[in-house]
Structure formats: structure tokens, C-alpha cells
Amino acid sequence: MYAFDYRRPSSLAEAAALLRQDPEAKLLAGGHTLIPTLKQRLARPSVLLDIGHLAELRGLREENGGLAIGAAVRHGEVAASDLVRRTIPALAALASHIGDPAVRNRGTMGGSIANADPAADWPAAVVGCGAILRTDRREIAADDFFRGLFETALEEGEILREVWFPRPERAAYAKFPNPASRYAIVGVFVAKFADRVRVAVTGAAPAVFRATEMEEALTRDFRPEAIAGIRVPEDGLNSDLHASAEYRSHLVTVMARRAVEQARAS
Amino acid sequence: MPQVRMVVNGREVAGEVEGRTLLVEFLRERLGLTGTHVGCDTSQCGCCLVLVDGVSVKSCTTLALQCEGANVTTIEGLASDGELHPVQRAFHEHHGLQCGFCTPGMVISAVDLLSRNPDPTEAEVRSWLEGNFCRCTGYHNIVKAVLAAAAELRQQKAA
């Protein structure tokens, strides 16, 4: 790692002010993506602003029939939360399959979302639920948040504060994990609301996306058979040593069917 | 250079560190606690696990300064009064190690599991240990040891 300073701001406002002062500053929450990145010398921040402990980012509460989860809540805390298991159990299940236990003890939901790794699990839940992302400046709809490979709608110095998830009637996440990293080769989050179904796909493309043809079919008929014949075109899907675009396209349908089965059983 | 303070194995410690000093470097190089191993240095193998405020953490992927004020337990801190911790004893009795390199991380991970789930199934133990790599044993005796330690800890608690 290149040398950097470390600071622990005592509030979100202080963190935002420090970010404004220094364009080379970076936020640190759980550090489970950032520290490995620094070890590879792929980034050279002047200072890390540790916001992982801030109470403003650590809340987890019921709100407006849904769940508001603070950005610095750790994956393991979501997985173990009785409140999450009772209200949106699919979120707890998703969090319980990220990395391994020690990763889940440190890595944060907000860190994963703000980083927007194309293979991360959380973006599928955010888009699948149609969540609202609350920053220190504004609210952003899930459909407007993820812009591309590691790219989000967050502006320079903007800090993700919490995410509000509406509560679906039924939801589930099915993932075909990379056997080493547990990142999603393909992951599909299906959420059934009273009037519509949302289907979000991670791992398959440069950014999470909605499978709208599946959404329409499932809104009419919420059974796995309804989407068995629907294939997401392989054009534009990721192709790497783990899976070709053609295989990923196949996996999207398989994972979506499994997610619907799980959601129906939930 | 900034100072960091924490409690390690029940003892208050402090030291000057750089921003980039990892927790594992602080433990091994400053405090001489070399029981915590660095295996992969890429957050995958689990050899470097220590307990930070009671939960298992990869000390190679945590900055020392992130642990300001924390309570850290390393493998050296598990035994008390010369008595091995029940998990350590079970690894010994069930031959849950060969070369021993991964063992500190395995033991710390098992202690974290049993603090949450005192009566895990074999499948739960195997699933929990997916972040701990052992290149010698094939895991069977490690899993046996964790299950045996769980039984002993439950018995101790009931007694």
C-alpha cells in the first residue's frame, strides 16, 4: 500500500466537509474492497475517512411499511437481524451468502452499493425492490442509481447515508456464485408487490439491470413456468474465464426461475 | 505518526502506527504476537482471523487504526491459566491439524461460530468454515473437533 493518512470524523457532516476539502480523500467503511484495492496499489488516496462507526449510518429500523438500513450496517448484521428476517427475509438471506463469515463481519451494505461492483449482490436487492437511496444531499431512485461498471449516480463527495427498501409481498434472491469469491456469476432478485413484479439481475452485465420481459410475464403469472422460455439476450453480457455471455444468459433464466420458486415457498 | 490504543488479550496496549499499518502487522511486529498468521494476504484464506469485539475479523484486511478502542483476542489470548480453550483442546484431541499454519484462524473462527450457535450441525460447521482454508487435513478432523468442542462447551454451560 502507498502511504495515506487515516482520520475518523465524528459526524457525517464532518466527513462531507473533509471530502470537500481534499479531492484525493476516500471514504472507508468496512474496507473489504478498499483495503485489498490499496494493497494492489490500484488507488492512491491521500487520506481515508473512516465512517464505518458513525451512528448516523448504523441504523436499522422499520419505516413506512419497509426497512431503512444504514449504509454502514454490516452484511452479517443484516443476515442476523430478527427485524430483517421478519419483514424482508430475502435481504437477510442475500446478506448471509456474501463472501464468508469474517467478510460479513466487516463489509457494509452501503460500501457494496456505492462501489457498484458488477458482481456484487446488494445492487440486485436495491434494484429488485425498487429501493430509495438516501445520501447526505438527496434521495435517488434505485432505477437511476447504477450507471455502469463501478459507476453510480453519486456525485463527487456525495455520501450514501441509508437505503429504504419497500416491503414486497414475496421476494427471493438466487445466486450462482463464483466458487472462490462467492461473488455472483449471475444473481437474480425477484420481488412481488401487490401490483407488479420486479426482476433485477447482477453479475451478468457491466451493471445490475432489470429483466423487463420477465417482469411482465411474472406480473401476469407468478410461477417459474411463466419465464422458462424467456432468455435475456447475450449481447452485452459479460464474458470471462468464469462464464461466457451465452452461459450467463442461460443462467439468468435458471436463477430467475429458482428465485420465483423460493419466493413462492416463502 | 498517530497513536493507536486497544485492548489485546486483556492487556491495554498502545503504539505509533502509520495509516496503512494493518492490524496483523501491529499484532505480529509490534506486540510480538506471531500466533496470528498471514496466509494469502488477500482476504481469502482466514489464517489471520482474530476476534475484534467478539467477532472474527481478517486482521490482514483491517487497519490497526480502525481498531482504536477495540477489544482484540488473538490465539494467544484463548487459553487461561495454562488451560487450553475447549476449542484448542478439541483440535488437539481430534487431530484437527497437520502443519498447523491455518489452525489459529480455524480456532478463532470456531470460537466465533460457537458463540452464536452453540449447537451447530455438521453442515453448519462446514458452511461457516468456508472462509478458512486448510491445505493439509481435508477438513474432516477440523469439523469433528469443532463439533466436539461445541458439545463440551454446552456441557460446561449446563454444569
| Shortest alpha-carbon distance between residue B157 and chain A (Å) | 23
Tell me the H-state helices in A29-131: 34-39, 75-80, 82-87, 89-95, 101-106, 109-115, 122-129
Sign of the C-alpha dihedral, residues B3, A38, A103, B78?
Answer: negative
Q: Do the chains contact at B57 and A99, CB–CB below 8 Å?
A: no
Interface test with A, best of B45, B55, B146 (most A CBs within 10 A): B55
Asked if A38 and B62 come within 8 Å (Cβ–Cβ), the reply is no
pLDDT for B122 equals: 98
pLDDT at residue B1, rounded to an integer? 86
What's the pLDDT band for A51 if we cut at 50, 70, 90? very high
The stretch B14-39 carries a mean pLDDT of 98
A221–chain B nearest CA distance, Å: 35
Rounded distance between C-alpha atoms, residue B8 and residue B14, angstroms? 10
Provide the pLDDT for residue A29: 97
Q: Which residues of B touch A182 (CB under 8 A)?
A: 130
pLDDT at A109 over 90: yes
User: Chain A closest CA to B58's CA: distance in Å?
Assistant: 6
B39 interface with A at CB cutoff 8 Å: no
Beta strand B49-52 with B11-16: parallel, antiparallel or unpaired?
Answer: unpaired
Counting runs of H as helices and runs of E as strands, what totals does chain B give?
5, 5
pLDDT at residue A180 in the model: 85
In a 10 Å sphere around its CB, with 0-12 CB exposed, 13-18 middle and 19+ buried, how is residue A15 labelled? buried
Q: In the CATH hierarchy, which top-level class contains the domain A168-266?
A: alpha beta
Residue A135 has pLDDT above 90, yes or no: yes
Residue A179 has pLDDT above 90, yes or no: no
CA-nearest residue of chain B to A35? B61
Largest pairwise CA distance in chain B: 50
* pLDDT at residue B159, as a whole number: 84
Alpha carbon of A146: minimum distance to chain B alpha carbons (Å): 26
Cβ–Cβ below 8 Å for A5 and B44? no
Nearest CA in chain B to A34: B61
At residue A151 the predicted structure's pLDDT band, cuts being 50, 70 and 90, is very high
Cell matching residue A254: 435458471
What is the complex's ipTM, to 2 decimals? 0.96
Out of A31, A48, A80, name the one closest to residue B19 (CB): A48
- Return the CATH fold of B3-77: Ubiquitin-like (UB roll) (3.10.20)
For residues A185 and A122, is the Cβ–Cβ distance under 8 A? Answer: no
Question: pLDDT at residue A266 above 90?
Answer: no
A248 pLDDT band, cuts 50/70/90, is: very high
Q: Inter-chain contact B19–A2, Cβ cutoff 8 Å? A: no
Q: Where are the domains of chain B?
A: 3-77, 86-158
* pLDDT tens sequence across B72-88: 999 999 999 999 999 99
For residue B74, what pLDDT is reported?
98
* pLDDT in the model for residue A181: 87
What's the CA gap between B115 and A248, in Å, rounded?
39
Which CATH architecture fits A1-167?
Answer: 2-Layer Sandwich (3.30)
Give percent above pLDDT 70 in chain A.
100
What's the whole-number average pLDDT of chain B?
A: 97
State how far the alpha carbon of B67 is from the alpha carbons of A50, B4, B22, in Å.
11, 8, 10
Give CA–CA dist A85/A62, Å, rounded: 12
**Nearest CA to CA, how far is A2 from chain B (Å)?**
8
Rounded alpha-carbon distances, angstroms, from residue A37 to A152, A185, A221: 19, 20, 44
Q: What percent of chain A has pLDDT over 90?
A: 98
Q: Look at residue A52 in the predicted model and tell me its pLDDT.
A: 97
Does position A227 have pLDDT exceeding 90, yes or no? yes
Please identify, in words, the CATH class of the domain defined by B86-158: mainly alpha
Q: What integer pLDDT is reported at residue A216 of this predicted model?
A: 98
pLDDT higher than 90, residue B12 = yes
Question: Average pLDDT for residues B94-116, to the nearest whole number?
Answer: 97
Tell me the pLDDT band of B126, cut-offs 50, 70 and 90: very high
Q: Which of B19, B42, B57 sits opposite A6 (nearest CB)?
A: B19
3-state secondary structure of A223: coil
**Percent of chain B residues past pLDDT 90, beyond the cut:** 96
d(CA B35, CA B9): 12
**A·B CB contacts under 8 A:** 74
Task: Collect all residues from A whose CB is shorter than 8 A from any CB in B.
Answer: 1-6, 8, 28, 31-32, 35-36, 38-39, 47-48, 50, 52, 76, 80, 99-103, 105-106, 180-182
